[in-house]
Amino acid sequence: MLLLKGGRLLDPASGTDVPRDVLIDGERIAAVELPGKIGARNGELQEIDIAGLIVAPGFIDLHCHLREPGGENSETIETGTRAAASGGFTAVCPMPNTRPVHDNASVTRSILERAQTAHTRVWPIGAASLGSRGEELAEIAAMQKSGVVAVSDDGHPIATAKLMRQVMDYCRSLGMPVIDHCEDSSLAAGASMREGPASIRTGIRGMPAAAETIGVGRDIQMAELTGCRFHVAHLSARGSLEMVRVAKHKGLAVSCEVTPHHFTMIDEEVGYDTHRKMNPPLGSREDREALIEGLADGTVDAIATDHAPHEPATKEVEFDRAPFGVTGFETALGLALELVHAKKIGLARMVELFTTGPARVLGMQRKVAAGEPADLTVFSTEHRWTFRAAESASKSRNTPFDGREFRGGPMTTIVAGRVVYRR
């Protein structure tokens, strides 16, 4: 048994924010009591003193890329989940743009078999279309039976409104959400950053924010038509956020996520740094402020990393030739706490964005109570530390936050009652 002693329990599901001790027996929480009320028990008891720290439901990352199978030079399930655990995550949802594409149940089973020794839970997302080519439906029902929690063609948008309608009709009958990389490919083709004054100054071809908002608008209309649960991946534009806000006010089952790099950086900071090249690209200052407002007011449902590792050689090229994507597991909480310290969002709201928010998107619950799975994230709001890419648990180093100093971060990560990370 494991006793987390002297911590502050912050559980959005129950609205709890009080001092509590948490006892873990095996893979489940055995008791949550006032400090000092959990007495001696039969069997060996290990204690971890978490005085001055916060214990929360285990963090969930709705959007990441573990690259396995096919991209093991950049990341593996083992290294990716080790990085996720060191970032405070207890469950991660890898996207299907693997090689081969995760579009059938045999790939689902292979991923979950490899994930049996992972450092976190792995909840895979399957492709919406065969090969993510946007032509015909993938084996969605078979993948769901084998363990996928949602479908997406991430890396690409779901190609047409007709296909999106078919995917949503099918997934509604299965009770499963559809996640889309919302983009009008005709506007985004060949672009490497957001269109605006910064792209003009650098001479880098830019995609307008409308490339995203057009895709969001299409998909919300399809969600209204079909009644399917729809989730916007890595939302980055002010106009997209407003569409989601209106959809929610109409009562549609629409949700969205925002990444730490989009609520932290803007297009003016890109320059020619390939570690600041991602898709969707960094937006304007006005976009960033709108995203932060959405995080605070409840429009945004989750903070997701879009952890996208690339082996160094692929990023050490000209800007327009470099692949999109940055790593994100280990810096996500530190960047979110910057918003808390700046009083732009509340601490409880931040925890919700990492826990009950993403759980709701997947149709799950996340709470700290007796009988619940012992998936817990213990973090500090004050611990000072510096992120060093060279020391990352990930195989890749493509981060714009190398050398950044943080105030607060993950201290202990527990998955199924097992300590998988401890600072």
- Residue 219 is a catalytic residue: no
- 25 beta partners: 28
Nearest to residue 182, comparing CAs of 234, 229, 257, 242? 234
SS3 for 256? strand
User: Whose structure tokens read 């569409």?
Assistant: 243
User: What burial class does residue 331 get, using C-beta atoms within 10 Å of its C-beta: 0-12 exposed, 13-18 middle, 19+ buried?
Assistant: buried
Burial letters 184-199, b for 16+ CB under 10 A, else e:
beebbeebbbbbbebb
* Torsion, CA 174, CA 176, CA 178, CA 179, rounded to 10: -160
Angstrom distance (rounded) from CA 87 to CA 332: 7
Long-range contacts of 19-22 (CB under 8 A, 24+ apart): 20/55, 22/55, 22/368, 22/376
Q: Which of 306, 320, 375, 402 is catalytic?
A: 306
Up-side HSE of residue 394: CA atoms within 13 Å toward CB?
29
Phi-psi region of 212 (alpha: psi -120 to 50; beta: other; left: phi over 0): alpha
Angstrom distance (rounded) from CA 180 to CA 256: 10
DSSP-derived letter for residue 220 is: H
Neighbours of 332 (CB within 10 A): 26
Query: What are the catalytic residues?
Result: 306
